[in-house]
Homo-oligomer: A and B are copies of this chain.
Amino acid sequence: MGSNSFRLVVYGYEPGRFWQHVDEIREAVRVGEGMSDDETLKPAPMERAVHTAEVFAAFCHAAHIEDIDAVATSAIRSARNGGELLERIRAEAGLSARVISEQEEARYGYLAIVNSTTIEDGFGIDVGGGSVQMMRIQGRRLQEAESWRLGAVRMSERFLPGEEAGKKAIKALRKHVARELEGCDWLDSAEAPKTVGVGGTIRNLASAAERRAGLDYTDAQGYSIARDALEELIEELAAMPPSKRGKVPGIKPDRGALILGGAIVLGALMDRIGAVELEATDAGLREGVFFDRFLSDRDLPIFDDVRRASVLNLANRYDQDLGHVRHVAHLSLQLYDALARKELIKASDEDRDLLEAACMLHDVGTTIDYDDHHKHSRYLILNARLPGYTPRELQLISLIARYHRKGEPDASDLGKLARKGDDRRLALLSGIIRLAEQLERSRDGSVESLRVTAKNGTLRVFPQTKRDATVAIWSARRNADLLERAIDRSLEIAP
């Protein structure tokens, strides 16, 4: 129950296998509307809040959702009559909600951040409707956290109440934020720190920045918005009336009224810590609550390796034969490492990691259909979000998985995310996974491992078999051409 919107999110969780988002109802209640003057919830927003709570409670009842954790943040926490609202919600909707403290809110935000990105040291920022939270993270642990009543709803009402957002008002808001944060020493940073942002405001701003950069096919997850790009967005938003701001691609219509205020606050927070870019993540308070509640048997920060956890979560969600996909990964990495040792390729940890992730996920498309399952794998990976990876990495993984069979990889599929050398990179990694997949075509591990030699322009792959490998060798021989071209060597599969 946030200051801007109430949201019911349903998670499904199979312990030890996967968790996923299974349903959601969102209502822009704006319970904090009009309360910035006297810190009192107004009657109309309270009515909307109670009615929405009734609907949410009825939904949980009807859908047999038993484990409900209802939490309220800044607006209800700081309102004089917040307790009264929760009492009405308890009596009329039968829903027991708890107000979380600023510390708890920061902790949930921290849990969302370290479990959905690869941040080790740096800052976390959560821009809510009523308040903002700043967190300092060191060695993936939460070192410091503090909350300020500088949320997007609150600041928009106070500094940008009219149709126009003048330079003066914007300057005043920036100054206000800077002044509020002045005395907080742990926000000082010697060099530009890694910074991650959570919450709907930041998600919308990241999406809008992506659209401006021509990335209309990517998700905000893992996207880094540069401080400069944020400033350009602020200028664009300030030049239009609030009613138009909700129509900017990437911004949700009901956020139009407060997105500019949120953007200005975010810019000022980034300036305070000296951040030159901010990575957005889809995870937020709700994921923090979920992680804390259902994965609490694990040590903090919960996932040891976010990328691995994301990939495995997705593989399990689509019920992959882990024996098979791990074996394809094993053979692929053996090939990759052998090519690197023989200096036939320039190896990099990043490429190796992308190859491994693609191997783990190459067959997820069979969930949809066997026919064209390589294409379906791409679709599923692109739509899944893989916390820990950037949009570019996600695209690369999806393309390597796509080309594990049939067709010719083409870096132009990366669109504006393409970089120099991507054609070579894709050909190599796709060539490797394609050969490895065929060496494991019968899905029975008949080829245990590979020995590789390179002589006179020919790469020889000797499959080490523990049982009949007829299918593997037959299949591999007719699928070696992509790798041959990628390394400019002829390739032989020895019997």
Interface of A toward B, CB cutoff 8 Å: 20-24, 51, 54-55, 58-59, 61-63, 366-372, 376, 379-380, 383-384, 441-444, 446, 468, 470-471, 474-475
Contacts and interface: CB of A to CB of B under 8 A. Distances in A.
Contacts of A372: 383
Contact of A21 (B22, B370, B442, B446): B370
A369 to B, nearest CB: 6
Given A470-B54, A474-B55, A22 B61 contact: no
B384 A58 contact: no
Contact of A368 (B24, B380, B446): B380
B368 A62 contact: no
B20 A61 contact: no
Contact of A371 (B21, B63, B443): B21
Contacts of A51: 474
A442 B62 contact: yes
Contacts of A61: 468
A392 to B, nearest CB: 21
Contact of A444 (B21, B62, B383): B62
27 contacts: A20-B370, A21-B369, A21-B370, A23-B370, A55-B470, A55-B471, A55-B474, A55-B475, A58-B442, A58-B468, A58-B470, A58-B471, A59-B441, A59-B471, A61-B468, A62-B443, A62-B444, A62-B468, A63-B442, A63-B444, A367-B368, A368-B368, A368-B380, A368-B383, A369-B383, A369-B384, A379-B379
Q: What's the number of copies of this chain in the assembled complex? A: 2
A74 to B, nearest CB: 26
A457 B441 CA distance: 64
Contact of A369 (B20, B468, B471): B20
B370 A367 contact: no
Contacts of A376: 383
A466 to B, nearest CB: 12
A468 B61 CA distance: 10
Nearest to A371: B21
Nearest to A21: B370
Contacts of A371: 21, 24, 383
A59 B468 CA distance: 10
A477 to B, nearest CB: 11
Contacts of A468: 58, 61-62
Nearest to A55: B474
Contacts of A441: 59
Contacts of A21: 369-371
Contact of A370 (B24, B55, B379, B474): B24
Nearest to A379: B379
Max chain B Cβ within 10 angstroms of own Cβ: one of A379, A442, A471: A471
Contacts of A369: 20-21, 383-384
Contacts of A470: 54-55, 58
A245 B328 CA distance: 36
Contacts of A384: 368-369
